[in-house]
Chains A and B, each alone.
Chain A
Amino acid sequence: MSALLPPGVSAQQFAQALTAMRAVVGPEWVFANDEDITAYSDHFAFEDVSVNLASAIAAPLGLDQITRIIAIARDHQIPVWAISTGRNLAYGGSAPRKHGTLTLDLKRNNRILEVNEELAYAVVEPGVSFFQLYRHLREIGSKLWIDTPSPGWGGIMGNMLERGVGYTPYGDRFMWQCGMQVVLADGTVVDTGMAAQDGSQTGNHTYRYGSGPWIDGIFTQSNFGIVTKVGIQLMPEPPGYRPFLVTFAEDEDIAPVSDLIRPLKMTHVIPNAAVTCSLNLEAATSLDRTKYHVDAGPLPEAARRRMMADLNVGKWNFYAALYGPEPVMDAHWEVIRDSFATVKGARFFTADDRKGDVVFGYRTKLMRGEPNMTEFGILNWMPNGAHLGFSPVAPVDGKTALDQYRLAEAICNRHGFDYTGMFIVGFRAMHHIVEPIFSRSDEDQRSRLITMVTELIDEAAKRGYGEYRGHLSFMDQIAGTYGWGDNALMKLSQRIKRALDPTGIMAPGKSGIWPEKASS
Chain B
Amino acid sequence: MKSLITPLALLGLATGSLAHAAPDGGTLFARNCASCHASGPGHPGTARLIIDSGPDVAVLEQRSDLNAERVTTAVRQGFQMMPPFRRTELSDAEVKAIARWLSAPKSKR
Binding site for B on A (CB under 8 A): 29, 31, 35-36, 38-40, 43-44, 59, 85-87, 89, 93, 105, 107-108, 110-120, 127, 131-132, 135-136, 140-143, 152-153, 236-240, 286, 288, 325, 358, 361-362, 371-374, 376-377, 379-380, 383-386, 440
Contact = CB atoms under 8 A, between A and B. Distances in A.
17 contacts: A31-B87, A43-B83, A105-B86, A107-B88, A110-B19, A115-B15, A116-B13, A118-B7, A131-B31, A140-B15, A239-B1, A325-B1, A358-B41, A377-B42, A377-B43, A379-B48, A380-B48
A117 B7 contact: yes
Nearest to B82: A43
Given A43-B84, A120-B5, A385-B81, 5 more contacts: A38-B77, A118-B5, A127-B88, A376-B81, A385-B80
In the A-B complex, the 7 residue pairs with the smallest Cβ-Cβ separation, listed nearest first, are: A43-B83, A377-B44, A239-B2, A107-B88, A117-B10, A373-B35, A39-B84
Interface of B: 1-19, 31, 35-36, 41-44, 47-48, 51-52, 76-78, 80-81, 83-89
A288 B51 contact: yes
B86 A358 contact: no
A35 B76 contact: yes
A236 B5 contact: yes
Nearest to A384: B80
B98 to A, nearest CB: 15
Contacts of A127: 88
A380 B8 contact: no
A376 B44 contact: yes
Nearest to B5: A236
Given A152-B35, A236-B5, A325-B1, A384 B13 contact: no
A148 to B, nearest CB: 12
Contacts of B77: 35, 38-39
A108 B8 contact: no
A107 B47 contact: no
Given A113-B15, A136-B18, A440-B80, A379 B86 contact: no
A378 to B, nearest CB: 8
B10 to A, nearest CB: 4
Contacts of A85: 89
Nearest to B2: A239
Contact of B17 (A111, A116, A236): A111
B85 to A, nearest CB: 8
A236 B35 contact: no
B77 to A, nearest CB: 7
Contact of B88 (A59, A132, A386): A59
Contacts of B6: 143, 236-237
Contacts of A237: 6
A345 B4 CA distance: 37
Contact of B4 (A108, A116, A239): A239
Nearest to B86: A39
Nearest to B7: A118
Contacts of B87: 31, 36, 59
Given A114-B13, A116-B13, A132 B18 contact: yes
A240 B2 CA distance: 9
B42 A140 contact: no
B28 to A, nearest CB: 13
Given A36-B86, A43-B83, A152-B35, A380 B13 contact: no
A140 to B, nearest CB: 6
A110 B17 contact: yes
B69 to A, nearest CB: 14
Contacts of A286: 41
Residue of B11, B44, B52, B88 with highest tally of chain A CB at under 10 A: B88
Residue of A36, A119, A361, A373 with highest tally of chain B CB at under 10 A: A373
Contacts of A86: 86
Given A105-B88, A107-B86, A143-B5, A373 B81 contact: no
A143 B16 contact: no
B91 to A, nearest CB: 9
A93 B13 contact: no
Given A143-B6, A383-B52, A89 B80 contact: no
Nearest to A120: B5
Contacts of A240: 2
Contacts of B47: 377, 380
A135 B27 CA distance: 13
Contacts of A153: 35
B13 A140 contact: yes
Contacts of B9: 117
Nearest to A114: B14
Nearest to B80: A384
Contacts of A35: 76-77
Contact of B13 (A38, A117, A132, A374): A117
A240 B3 CA distance: 11
Contacts of A362: 42
Nearest to B35: A373
Given A372-B42, A373-B43, A111 B15 contact: yes
Given A358-B42, A376-B44, A110 B14 contact: no
Contacts of A386: 81
Contacts of B14: 113-114
A374 B42 contact: yes
A379 B81 contact: yes
Contacts of B85: 39
